[in-house]
Amino acid sequence: MRPARRPFPSAIPCLLAALLLAPTVASKAAVPESAAKPALAGNAPPRGDHWAFRPLVAPPVPVVKSTARVRTSVDVFVLARLETKGLTLAPDAARAVLLRRLFFDLTGLPPGPEELTAFLADPAPDAYEKMVDRLLASSHYGERWGRHWLDAAGYADTIGTDNDVNGGKVRVGMWRYRDYVVRSLNADQPFDRFLLEQLAGDQRFAWRRDKCGQNTDREKNPDQFQPVPLTAEQKEWLIATGFLRTAVDGTNNYERNRPLERHQVLYDTVEILTSNVLGLTVQCARCHDHKYDPVTQRDYFRLLAFLTPAYNPAQWTQPQFRHVVASTPAEVETMKPFNADLDKQMNELGGRQGKIRTPHRQRLAAAKLAALPADIAAALKAAQALAADKRTAEQKNLIETTAPMTRVTDEEVTAALTPEERQADATLEQEKAALRARRREIEKLQAIWDVAEPPPTFLFKQGNYELPGAEVTPGLPAVLAGSAPLPDGPRRLALAQALTAPGSRSAALIARVQMNRLWHHHFGRGIVATPGNLGLSGAPPTHPELLEFLAAEFVRGGWKFKAMHRLIVNSTAYRQAAHATPELATQAVNIDPDNTLLWHTRLRRLESEAVRDAILTVAGRLDRRVGGPFVPLEGRPDGTVAIAKNQADPDGPRRRSLYLYARRNFNLSLLSAFDQPLVATNCTGRQSSVVVPQALALLNDPAVLEAADAFARRVLALNGSSADRLAFAFRLALCRAPSAAEATAAAALLDRHARRYADLPADDAAVRALSHLCQMLLCTNEFLYVE
Amino acid sequence: MWNNPRSRRREEAEALAPRSIRLLRSAATPPLSRRAMLHRTGLGLGGLALTSLFHSAGRTTGAPHFPAKAKAIILLFQSGGPGQMDLFDRKPELQKRDGQKTPIAIDKFLPGNTDQLIACPFPFRHYGQCGMELSELLPNLGGLADQLCLVRSMHTGHDNHTEGTVMLNTGHFTMGRPTIGAWISYGLGTGNRNLPTYVVLRDPAGYDTAGSLAWSPGWLSAAHGGTEFSSRGVPVPNLRPPAHISAEARRDDLDFLATLNQQHRRSFPRESELEARIGNYELAARMQTSATTALDLANESPATRALYGLDDTATAGYGTRCLLARRLVESGVRFVQVYPDQQGQVWDTHNNMQRDTEKMCHQTDLPSAGLLKDLHARGLLDSTIVLWAGEFGRLPVSQNGTGRDHNKHAFSLLLAGGGFRGGQTYGETDEFGYKATVNRVSVSDLHATLLHQLGLDHTQLTAEHHGRPDSLTDAPVTGAQVVRELIAR
């Protein structure tokens, strides 16, 4: 049986209110005592009475003893729980530790050495708060927190089940949705509006030229599906609805374009929407009323009915035909000659490169051929002279088996060039890249729209679409709907309006889900430890009043995230050290061994993207550009996935992990090793595993080794003594100076390596030796964790 | 390939030896964070299948629920869907009505299907004491009929390869759920801390259409996903440092790293996860030896090599992987997935079933039987389940004149060892082999039975997903049950 839920503490007198932002609703006990009863016991109260489903009421503010430690209202709630157990907060963390924590939490990147120095030297009493403001204003904030939202939304750049490493089917223009999320968060767009745009941006204005359901025309020429000319804002509204295009949709394949798979797209979209936005798991209610939560089978199909006009299994558009062309016909026309001109120039440059490279290539090829035994070389020559379809099986086999010995790679040709030639070749390559970057692409985006008049939606008996039961109308689950009727208008627009309607139960739940997620990402664990499930089967909240307070405050402040971040990261609770004082720790370990009450900050491992982005940052290699098409990846024969060798953008490999091709199943191996999730539907909470492939990746992944070399070169470029350089390396990787013992160990290591590489030219030897040390800094637990 | 890989490996092993093995000694671990650590380190987890809904009934971590009959499973995955009526399920009525219009309605998958029944082109034979009826194309497996448990009444939920393969491994056709191998890793933990618990041996030439979804950890920790071991070259990606970094240089690096990590570790005495991570650097070094040794076939006798058909190019690839599977199971690996040669769905006989079925039987019959014989000879068959199965079956009607299309309503599979009842034929299909009719066995029933033989109760092996307990068989929805008739009494 499940354990009894932890009782909520009784109401605490409200004396500290003056310290706090005034609650909007008259204070009364936030959560009645009745909630203390185990909800699934025989005489359970109605399940709709579950705390998460109630209207939002700002809780009374508790009284605490350690008023000196209170920086924001968050602290009062955290301290109140601690003090009931005779505990308190740990001292503040050291400033450098705090800065590193803040940088990773708000931007997903480590601070640079200059930023660290400036912050440590800033005597202003509000230096920390100023830094918070600065980071919240940084465009990297949207990248960091956009990633969290994209996880919950199930974002991927592919259409179907992602089962072929080199055959992923791209969902055209989906990346614009990723950038929309980053922009919206950077602009601190109110969450209710953010949600409305994503659910129903297409229903806010008239944009379509076609009549409903011209599917056959789309299949003939999807690029002709051009709406009326769009303003920038309207384009944004359409792109936002890519939110409802994230589900796996294999119906692009003929053999998967059947009722079974079409319905599955609907089911998955409902699952993503509910686990993300409502923090509920409803998928069991497809077949039967939910066992634990007050969600009936009828509720499930009423939710589904919001989506059937757009995903109508009887009138289906395959996903490869769903993009909208946002460029106008006139724009498309002007692009053609413009691009043709660029292509011509690039060809010309390519020709000039060929003149430099081809003689070397031919010479190298001839040398390789000459190295083969004479009879084989002769046979091979004869085989190569024939057209491919004229060759015998034997000849084909010969060409194939000798290929590794005769192939001349681009790298080999480059290495064979004279210094002057190499310079000229590189210049031409750069000019080509600059031209390529200027090419104009037809702007295609993913959006959702209703394909026809709303079809009738039926409840499926046993969840089986072949057994339709009663017809249902769209609506929120009864437990959230209250008595308010659904607003008039298109269905998804009505859904968006109903969800965040002021004072509604659904708005209360949504605010709790969002604030719990905010807490989860700042503290490593949500106030409710199951961020995708705040229902009866989820974990009970550790700080129920705090969650109510944050949710109420979020709504009161106009659903804006940045103010809530400030409230949290400026708090003493957030600024705590990762260690309590020894006396407190001895006591606390017995009272609250799992640190659920937060008597110190939790040590958190960096997420996969942050690991790679931090490595690139420390190496001085990170390309900080925001947004744009994804960076292609490719599968290697050994089963790993790497950044593709051929990149339209030569700086692609240095871009943030957010911009790598987002696969469902075949993500970059380095990221997968560090728990980049498999995106089957969506991810409301990542794993943080400790497995050997992580050690192997940090030790031997070519990208890490390359970064370690760049890191070493960066350190060597510093003017100063070897001690200065060592300190610089530690500062870059760990935001601190080495201890005396570490400096001694590092010097010894460098010395051993220097002797090992003594035969190399001095510069190479120095890089090599230091590269070992730099790589080990990247391998440390200290680097991998935020304190 | 190196000229003398074995001596180089020995050198490396010596250079990497234990200067900081002592660092693995674990500090005293406070009782409650042990759970958190185990969860995150992906060590034995059976007892940690705790959720906010259920207490575990006093389970010991990593221990089975009840005494196990078997310790390991080898899945010989016959990618593409072998035809049940051509190999395992003789249908006289189908032979009689060859070329006639089918009297029953048939769900077809791809174009090119007709309503014409098409007979099995191969004769059947009675094999063994038990007289099991199997195709003449399977003389080697047939020779072991008294040890085989043939199930003719399997059915599944999807008739496309990817989904069918995902379903055979996870119990559901949508992607994203943990596979049975992942559940076993989660439930029982490792049998050899120097090797992964769950290993995949695919054709180095490529994947089938389900690719790595067939060994996915789903929403379990990444630690429980299958690890691909390459049967050619370096067994695991990133296993070795690049050529310019010598083993001695790496040893110096790791000692320096250990110094830094130990200092950091002392600041966080309660975070045992850090200790596990420190240990992983040493394990990574040891794996260079252990993984390479486990896959080194140089010491296998000529007789053993012949048993697996290593001397015939037609059987050498699949045979090598069968032999590696035995070695891995011997080393304590709990779940091994073996794939046949060739990229793609090799049993997928849409066009020329006679030619393709003959070819696949030639490739797989001898090595599959060789594996059973070898396991038996080494006393490993009793504790190892060998499952020979594809993702679905095929239709009784003809496609493109000489082929058969996919069929989710019936397929046959073979089980051997691990306490399964040999010499038994279980279940029946209709007169054309189209639908399983008698003693139907679902994929979830199969999973429940396999877990049962490993000492795991499929209703108790749960893990939290979206805040609720979920399981491999999801028995409340699928109605999965252990098929006791398949098990030896």
The predicted pLDDT at position A40 comes to 38
8 Å CB contact between A270 and A307: yes
Domain end call among A413, A441, A469: A441
SS3 assignment for A537-572:
CCCCCCCHHHHHHHHHHHHHCCCCHHHHHHHHHCCH
8 Å CB contact between A440 and A358: no
Does residue A642 sit at the B interface (CB-CB below 8 Å)? no
In chain B, which among 247-286 make CB contacts under 8 A with chain A?
248-250, 252-253, 256-257, 259-261, 263-265, 267-268, 270-271, 273-274, 276-278, 280-281, 283-284
* Residue A612 maps to a domain: yes
* Residue A199 maps to a domain: yes
Inter-chain touch B263–A532, beta carbons under 8 Å: no
Same-domain pairing of A336 and A273: no
Does residue A162 sit at the B interface (CB-CB below 8 Å)? yes
Q: pLDDT band at A32, cuts 50/70/90? A: very low
Inter-chain touch A700–B110, beta carbons under 8 Å: no
Question: How confident is the model over A45-73, as a mean pLDDT?
Answer: 89
- Specify the range with the lowest mean pLDDT, choosing from A735-744, B104-113, B167-176: B104-113
Question: How confident is the model over B372-384, as a mean pLDDT?
Answer: 97
Closest-approach residue (CA) in chain A for B283: A692
Residue A207 has pLDDT above 60, yes or no: yes
In chain B, which among 196-215 make CB contacts under 8 A with chain A?
196, 204, 207, 209-213
Question: How confident is the model over A449-465, as a mean pLDDT?
Answer: 92
8 Å CB contact between A106 and A569: yes
pLDDT, mean over chain A:
89
β partners of residue A642:
A634
Same-domain pairing of A220 and A267: yes
Does residue A691 sit at the B interface (CB-CB below 8 Å)? yes
Residue A9 has pLDDT above 70, yes or no: no
Same-domain pairing of A208 and A304: yes
Residues of A in contact with B31 (CB under 8 A): 593
- Specify the range with the lowest mean pLDDT, choosing from A215-229, A426-440, A563-577, A584-598: A215-229
* Residue A566 maps to a domain: no
Same-domain pairing of A736 and A638: yes
- Quick one: which of A340, A339, A326, A83 has its CA closest to A202? A326
The predicted pLDDT at position A222 comes to 60
Query: From CA B316, how far away is CA B310, in angstroms rounded?
Result: 4
Q: pLDDT band at B11, cuts 50/70/90? A: very low
Alpha helices, H only, A595-676:
608-618, 669-673
In chain A, which among 532-561 make CB contacts under 8 A with chain B?
532-533, 535, 537-540
Q: Which CATH number fits domain B71-235+301-486: 3.40.630.30, 3.40.50.1370, 2.40.50.140, 3.40.720.10?
A: 3.40.720.10
Inter-chain touch A678–B160, beta carbons under 8 Å: no
Query: pLDDT tens digits for B343-362?
Result: 667 899 988 899 999 999 99
* Residue A129 maps to a domain: no
Alpha helices, H only, A417-543:
419-438, 478-481, 491-499, 505-523
Residue predicted with more confidence, A400 or A471: A471
The predicted pLDDT at position B258 comes to 96
For residue A450, what are the CA distances in angstroms to A27, A264, A311, A498, B225? Answer: 44, 18, 7, 19, 40
Query: pLDDT tens digits for B125-165?
Result: 999 999 999 999 999 999 999 999 999 999 999 988 988 99
Domain end call among A374, A408, A441: A441
8 Å CB contact between A93 and A578: yes
Residue predicted with more confidence, A477 or A403: A477
For residue B344, what are the CA distances in angstroms to A637, B114, B207, B209, B409? Answer: 15, 25, 7, 6, 22
Q: Which of A312-326, B212-226, B271-285 has the highest mean pLDDT?
A: A312-326
The predicted pLDDT at position B178 comes to 94
Query: From CA A648, how far away is CA A633, in angstroms rounded?
Result: 12
Same-domain pairing of A643 and A765: yes
Residues of B in contact with A278 (CB under 8 A): none
Query: pLDDT tens digits for B406-450?
Result: 999 999 999 999 999 999 999 999 999 999 999 999 999 999 999
Contacts of residue B458, Cβ cutoff 8 Å, sequence gap at least 6: B447, B448, B451, B452, B471, B472, B473, B475, B480, B482
Q: Residue B40 carries which side chain, given as an amino acid letter? A: R
Closest-approach residue (CA) in chain A for B210: A163
Residue B9 has pLDDT above 50, yes or no: no
- Specify the range with the lowest mean pLDDT, choosing from A421-435, A691-705, B206-220: B206-220
Does residue A41 sit at the B interface (CB-CB below 8 Å)? no
CB neighbours of residue A634 within 10 Å? 15
Residue predicted with more confidence, A402 or A747: A747
Residue A786 has φ and ψ, to the nearest 5°, of -105, 130
The predicted pLDDT at position A213 comes to 40
Same-domain pairing of A715 and A733: yes
The predicted pLDDT at position B4 comes to 41
B249, B277, B477 ranked by CB distance to A753: nearest: B249
For residue B440, what are the CA distances in angstroms to A533, B107, B152? Answer: 36, 19, 8
Overall number of domains in chain A: 3
Task: Identify the domain containing residue A375 by its residue range.
Answer: 329-441
Strand pairing category for B397-399 and B384-389:
unpaired
The predicted pLDDT at position B121 comes to 95
Same-domain pairing of A363 and A480: no
In chain B, which among 348-407 make CB contacts under 8 A with chain A?
none
Residue A4 has pLDDT above 50, yes or no: no
Same-domain pairing of A678 and A781: yes
Query: pLDDT tens digits for A347-391?
Result: 999 999 999 999 999 999 888 888 888 888 888 888 888 888 888
Inter-chain touch B238–A746, beta carbons under 8 Å: no
* Residue A134 maps to a domain: no
The predicted pLDDT at position B467 comes to 67
Query: From CA B354, how far away is CA A678, in angstroms rounded?
Result: 39
Same-domain pairing of A434 and A340: yes
The predicted pLDDT at position B116 comes to 93
Same-domain pairing of A241 and A300: yes
Residue A15 has pLDDT above 80, yes or no: no
ipTM: 0.86
SS3 assignment for A365-419:
HHHHHHHCCHHHHHHHHHHHHCCHHHCCHHHHHHHHHHHHHHCCCHHHHHHHCCH
Percent pLDDT > 90 in chain A is 67
Where residue A478 falls (left for φ over 0; alpha for ψ -120 to 50; beta otherwise) is alpha
Residue predicted with more confidence, A648 or A72: A72
pLDDT, mean over chain B:
84
Same-domain pairing of A247 and A354: no
- Domain(s) labelled CATH 3.40.720.10 in chain B stretch across 71-235+301-486
For residue A241, what are the CA distances in angstroms to A68, A235, A270, A446, A681? Answer: 47, 10, 15, 7, 17
Tokens 């936002």 appear where? A240
Same-domain pairing of A727 and A757: yes
Nearest-CA distance from B90 to chain A in Å? 29
Query: pLDDT tens digits for A616-642?
Result: 999 999 999 999 999 999 988 777 899
Q: pLDDT band at A128, cuts 50/70/90? A: very high
In chain B, which among 122-181 make CB contacts under 8 A with chain A?
158, 160, 162-163, 166, 174-177
End-to-end CA distance of chain A: 36
